Structure 1
Amino acid sequence: MATVWMARMHGQGDFSRTVAIKRLLPMVAEDEETVRMFAEEARVTSELNHPNIVQVYDFMRDEAGRGLIVMEWVDGLDLGRLIRAHARTGTMIPWPLVTAIGIELLRGLGAAHRRVDAHGNQAAVIHRDITPANVLLSVSGAVKLTDFGMSRAMDRATITAPGTLKGKMPYMAPEYLGVGEASERTDLWSVGAVLFEAFTLEPLRNETAPTKIFGMASREAPSVRETRDDVPESLGEIIAGVLEVNPADRPESARELVVALSAVLREHDGPTDEEPLAELVRAARS
């Protein structure tokens, strides 16, 4: 739908900063629904001021009238690329670092879920497209959630037709695949699928055909400990809980999941701060 470019933004005097510019592709720039969704992405993300969410600085149009979103530039790679780098070498990502990535991702997602509007009313933003590609990891060890292009802000009428699925099907929660209803717990299931993949280096649903994915929707997720016996049993139970088929059986909020994952890390002696993650990112990028 869009391409992202690195650019340099200049201001008064010697002020300048590196930014990312996201621009609609020519083949969709005239599609009314796509244009509305692109503008909504800019509006929604600009209101989410959090260190674990990629920040939006401006929304404008180019000389051809195509929309442009000026965003924070994250120097690093996405989680999908990190997973592929480790899959090529057959080396697992250390489970404490995967857990730390999950905690930071959930903090950003929780901020979106807790959003309030200009009148102070609860107006959650449901992301609907949490995938490894939308989790950015910087060379300084920061974790940032990006791409709210499929998101739904609960203070706005829906832009897409009822029943329309938005996002990547392998990462869609069972209830979203079934009836197209997205909620905070739908996003949490997607986080679980992303973390499962980061732990095991294999996608939870290793299928791309829609009919096969629909057929897998009601199946119980395998345990990460089937692949990773070094993962603590308590951590395996947390991931299994967030991947429950019934949304009522999952954690209620991103914060609840942050608390649970943090408790596991407190029992681990090794470092899980920005530096070991930064080293991992730099190694995967080299």
Structure 2
Amino acid sequence: MRWLRSRRASAYEPLSEIASGGVGRVELVRRREGSFERLYARKRLHDAHRDDAEFRTMFFDEARIAGLVRHANVVSVLDVGEDDEGPYLVMEYVEGVPASAIVQHAIARRAEVPLQLALRIGIEAARGLHAAHELTAPSGEPLALVHRDVSPQNILVGFDGVTRVTDFGVAKAFGRTTRTATGVLKGKLGYMAPEQLRFEEVDRRADLFSLGIVLYELLAGRRLYRNVDGHDGVRRILHEPPPDLGEVRADAAPELVELVFSMLAKDPAHRPRTALEVSRVLDDVLADVVGSEGRLDVGEHLREAFAGELQRQRERSRAPARAALSRGPRAALTASVVAGVIAAAISVWASLTPDDEQRAETTPIVPAAAAPVAAPAPVPVIEAAPPAVHDSAQADVAEEAPAAPTTRSRRAARTPRRTASGAGSSKIPMWEWE
């Protein structure tokens, strides 16, 4: 690969470090060209890894794949290069919060995530995933891309109201240079599809299973497959019947309950075929809700709900440029700091940070018993490939609180739930988030 060296890197002024993990770090940078000024998130490998051939290959493999995805609901990678500090990726900087923070915010207030908000997040995340799944190589050959790490931390919801999928660092794609070693899982254990946990070949339907978990957690206000005892979450994914969303969300239409149920089917053949199908069902449900409630402005809702976070992010962006940022691996950010971290970079750190309970990036598992961009950003930057990241610390949430009161007035109108192949409700502590 041909690198853009110091000329390109010098165009970015480092402002502050956003996040740091075991493999790399992400920093907020600013680019100025005359009267033009814009913020970006720049990802780098730690000094200890920047000359390692395997890490470098993985870094740019990720960049090459993610750089091919151009969609309004996917975080854009805008530049790639190498300078005296090693290789780097420049990504779209997103003012907003991850989906996990939205659930946490509702938990802290003993409230439910607004139905329209959850539906819009699901719709746009599904559209972004569909764009990735349909990706083709420049030659026109399908890449059969599978994200493999869909989670609340890797779904960013901007203060502009747009949801974006990020972190393609562990994506599976035809033609990828690096390969996952046999017996090694990559991703977050609590969001993996059964076939992924069994080390079977996966396709786009594995991402739909993961998205189904995210939808359930947004609507139910709790972790679905929380790891409470060793690999208990893994066991439950493999063997526990899919939950009935209607048991925990009174305003969920039967069509929505059935969709989530099907997305969480153990057998991929019983799930929707594509993310586009998921988005269309959610679109229909949303239309009915808007017709009865009126339209919720997602951006306005988030700006009000996360006013303090928005202010912190903008204060960071106005900070004077720092001549140098401290280098090298650091401990994971605390939850309080993570609360102030939002950007494409947020997801970047997560994929780089091993999570003892949720990530299995290098952990063998024995399964037998076991900000909006409708088009490329309008900036004079060379388009290239991006990275991916996930955040374990972002998953740490509020203390357990009593469930918000809900009405069951619509339960009588519900269609009977399937029970033969797994319609039982998952009984786990409410309001817990790892």
User: TM-score of the superposition, structure 1-length normalised?
Assistant: 0.92
After superposition, the Cα gap between the structure-2 partners of 1:94 and 1:55, relative to the gap in structure 1 and judged at 3 Å, is same
Contact 1:105 1:145 (C-alpha < 8 Å) held by counterparts: yes
Asked if residue 177 in structure 1 is aligned to residue 197 in structure 2, the reply is: yes
Residue 82 (structure 1) aligned with residue 102 (structure 2): yes
1:114 counterpart = 2:162: no
**In the TM superposition, what are the counterparts of 1:1-286 in structure 2 within 5 Å?**
1-11=23-33, 13-26=34-47, 28-29=49-50, 31-65=52-86, 67-207=87-227, 209-216=229-236, 217-268=238-289, 269=291, 270-272=293-295, 276-285=297-306, 286=308
When residues 27 and 47 of structure 1 are mapped into structure 2, their CA distance, relative to the original with a 3 A threshold, is same
Distance 1:144 1:82 in 2: 14
Distance in structure 2 (CA, Å) of the matches to 1:42 and 1:157? 12
Q: What amino acid is aligned across from residue 60 of structure 1 in structure 2?
A: G
Provide structure 2 residue ranges, at least 5 long, that are not aligned to the other structure.
1-22, 309-434
- What letter is aligned with 2:58? M
Q: What is the CA distance between 1:209 and its match in structure 2?
A: 4.9
Where 1:189 maps in the other structure, the secondary structure is: helix
How many matched pairs? 282
Higher relative contact order (CA 8 A, sep 6+): 2
Say whether the 8 Å CA contact 2:61–2:177 is kept in structure 1.
no
CA gap of 1:209–1:3, structure 2 versus 1, over 3 A, is farther
Q: Once the 2 structures are TM-superposed, how far is the Cα of residue 98 of structure 1 from its aligned partner?
A: 0.5
In structure 2, the CA distance between the partners of 1:260 and 1:19, relative to structure 1 (3 Å rule), is same
How far has the Cα of 1:180 moved from its partner? 4.3
CA distance in 1: counterparts of 2:305 and 2:100, whole angstroms: 11
Paired AA for residue 170 in structure 1 = G
Contact 1:164 1:180 in 2 (8 A): no
- The separation in 1 between residues aligned to 2:124 and 2:215, in whole angstroms, is 12
Separation in 1 of the partners of 2:228 and 2:295?
34
- Alpha-carbon distance between aligned partners in 2 of 1:208 and 1:19, rounded to the nearest angstrom: 37
The 3 A distance-change label for structure 1 pair 208 and 150 is farther
Aligned counterparts of 1:83 and 1:62: Cα–Cα separation in 2: 40
Structure with the higher fraction of residues in helix conformation: 1
Runs of 4+ in 1 over 3 A off after TM superposition: 25-34, 270-273
Q: Which is further off, 104-113 or 206-215?
A: 206-215
- Identical-pair percentage: 35
Deviates more, 1:192-201 or 1:179-188: 179-188
Unaligned runs of 5+ in 1: none
Task: Answer whether contact 1:92 1:199 (CA < 8 A) is retained.
Answer: yes
